[in-house]
Amino acid sequence: MSHGNHHPTHGAEHRAAHRVAVVAGLRTPFLRSGGDFKDLSAVDLGALVVNELVARSGIPVKEFDGLIFGQVIPAPLSSLIGREVVLRTELPRTLPAHTTSRACATSIQAATEAADQIALGHASAVIAGGAESLSDAPIFASRPLAQALVALSRARSLPDKAKVIATLKLKDITPVPPALKEPTTGLTMGESAQKMAWENGISRAAQDEFAWQSHLKAAEAWKSGRFSDEVMAVEVPPRFAKIAREDNNIRAETTLDALGQLKPVFDKRYGTITAGNSSPLTDGAAALILMSEEKARALGLTPLGYIRSYAYAATDPGDQLLQGPAYAAPVALDRAGLKLGDMDIVEMHEAFAAQVLSNLQAFASRKFAEEKLGRAHPLGEIDPARLNVNGGSIPLGHPFGATGARMITQALRELRRRKGAHALLTVCAAGGLGAAVVLDGAEA
């Protein structure tokens, strides 16, 4: 495996010509799939958030050079979400756009692509983000049914058509829902996380405690108004009479006892992962405006903060699928010329409590550093008081394509509140991928 030592590392002196500012960020509420957003596609959600973000920013639309957007579960009828979003907003139809994907790190990917374009001087203002509608996931025909449909379209006579239909069994007609399965291992995300919980000795109690705390922090963030400027209201179709204003998966009233009663999902007998300590299936969208620092200044905008460095890494999906953050974070920190201890806050995507706790364990492990990263020293421990201080994906939800952009806005706004200098963000993703970003606060 090639990690850590093999990545080129850059100190601050090598930073690119243009410093990349994040000037604004916004998201829709994150709603449980099958609920109030069920009639909105990912493109619809993306267009809603981009339109609102641009309008709120007051930036003239002619200032933008591009838009980069992603969704993880592909929509067969609108495969180029980036461009479709542009075409459904007030942005000029001449604005180039593209679609990007890095599984659950998709809108981190969109943001870092935008940052690269700006750093290189190829663009000076780019919108980046992502959306997901797991309510609108494509349902596939089984292989025999798909083949029969093709054969039917070619059959000339009624008896020929009847022959084709006669080949089908009842089970062939059943639609196939998309599986969150890792193609090379055949294990779902949840099963892979359960495997990590066992291999790393993460107890059920520790997972439930982590999930519980995250719910309390997210509930408190909403209560104290910390999310009100970063989440837009959405009128709910088809009647538009109801307005979705807040995330609807947060359970302020959850108790450790209630979490402890839930049945394990991915290994029903001996497992420790439950609906309560997993992120739920969610619909939503999030977007950012990135600009060169000069352009932000010229337009009279005050940046929320800056993208300082980033890194992507990968591990063998058959090993510990969701351990990617522990591989990516040291590289991003090296590239930033900073240490874990310099971070005022850390935002870690919570796919499952077992995954976060496994990542934290690897961050602090000398054995992991030596054996997996080829480094003499572990990154270190993260102070719990700095981790996911306003809750994470377990209570907030996880619309795959939107989570990264949600995290960047949430982290930068929190840095501003704390007058903090730096934040580390990490996201684990399918394929054994990991993403890490180091952000500078506006005052850094």
Ligand X SMILES: CC(C)(COP(=O)(O)OP(=O)(O)OC[C@H]1O[C@@H](n2cnc3c(N)ncnc32)[C@H](O)[C@@H]1OP(=O)(O)O)[C@@H](O)C(=O)NCCC(=O)NCCS
Total residues at interface with ligand X (CB under 6 A) = 17
Decide if residue 265 touches ligand X (CB under 6 A).
yes
Min CB(251)–ligand X separation in Å: 5
Decide if residue 216 touches ligand X (CB under 6 A).
no
**Residues of this chain, 393-412, that bind ligand X according to CB under 6 A:** none
Q: Which is nearer to ligand X, 98 or 251 (CB)?
A: 251
Cβ contact 307:299 at 8 Å: no
Decide if residue 189 touches ligand X (CB under 6 A).
yes
Min CB(320)–ligand X separation in Å: 14
Member of 42, 104, 421, 425 binding ligand X (CB under 6 A): 104
Q: What would the two tokens of residue 45 be?
A: 């959600």
Phi-psi region of 324 (alpha: psi -120 to 50; beta: other; left: phi over 0): alpha
Decide if residue 423 touches ligand X (CB under 6 A).
no
Q: What are the C-alpha distances in Å from 328 to residues 218, 287, 296?
A: 26, 23, 29
Decide if residue 133 touches ligand X (CB under 6 A).
no
Catalytic residues: 104, 398, 428
| Spatial distance between the Cα atoms of 316 and 290, rounded to a whole number of angstroms | 33
Tokens 């602090």 correspond to 364
Please choose, from the candidates 391, 57, 62, the residue with its C-alpha nearest in 3D space to the C-alpha of residue 232: 57
Exposure on the CB side of residue 407, measured as CA atoms within 13 A: 39
Min CB(264)–ligand X separation in Å: 10
* Contacts of 2 by beta carbon, 8 Å cutoff, 6+ apart: none
What x/- string results for residues 274 through 293 when contact with ligand X is judged by CB under 6 A? -xx-xxxx------------
Min CB(428)–ligand X separation in Å: 7
Q: What would the two tokens of residue 240 be?
A: 């538009």
Phi-psi region of 11 (alpha: psi -120 to 50; beta: other; left: phi over 0): beta
Decide if residue 190 touches ligand X (CB under 6 A).
yes
| Spatial distance between the Cα atoms of 117 and 290, rounded to a whole number of angstroms | 10
Enumerate the β-bridge partners of residue 98: 68
Min CB(76)–ligand X separation in Å: 21
Q: Which is nearer to ligand X, 200 or 309 (CB)?
A: 200
Member of 117, 124, 135, 254 binding ligand X (CB under 6 A): 254
Bond preceding residue 238 cis, omega within 30 of 0: yes
**Residues of this chain, 71-100, that bind ligand X according to CB under 6 A:** none
Please choose, from the candidates 354, 310, 420, 399, the residue with its C-alpha nearest in 3D space to the C-alpha of residue 103: 399
Member of 85, 311, 340, 351 binding ligand X (CB under 6 A): 351
Q: Which is nearer to ligand X, 314 or 444 (CB)?
A: 314
Stretch that binds ligand X, among 44-52, 86-94, 258-266, 300-308 (CB under 6 A): 258-266
Q: Which is nearer to ligand X, 164 or 262 (CB)?
A: 262
Q: Which is nearer to ligand X, 78 or 194 (CB)?
A: 194
Q: Which is nearer to ligand X, 251 or 416 (CB)?
A: 251
Please choose, from the candidates 2, 9, 23, the residue with its C-alpha nearest in 3D space to the C-alpha of residue 292: 23
- Which spans of this chain sit near ligand X (rule: CB under 6 A)? 104, 180, 189-190, 251, 254, 258-259, 262, 265, 275-276, 278-281, 351
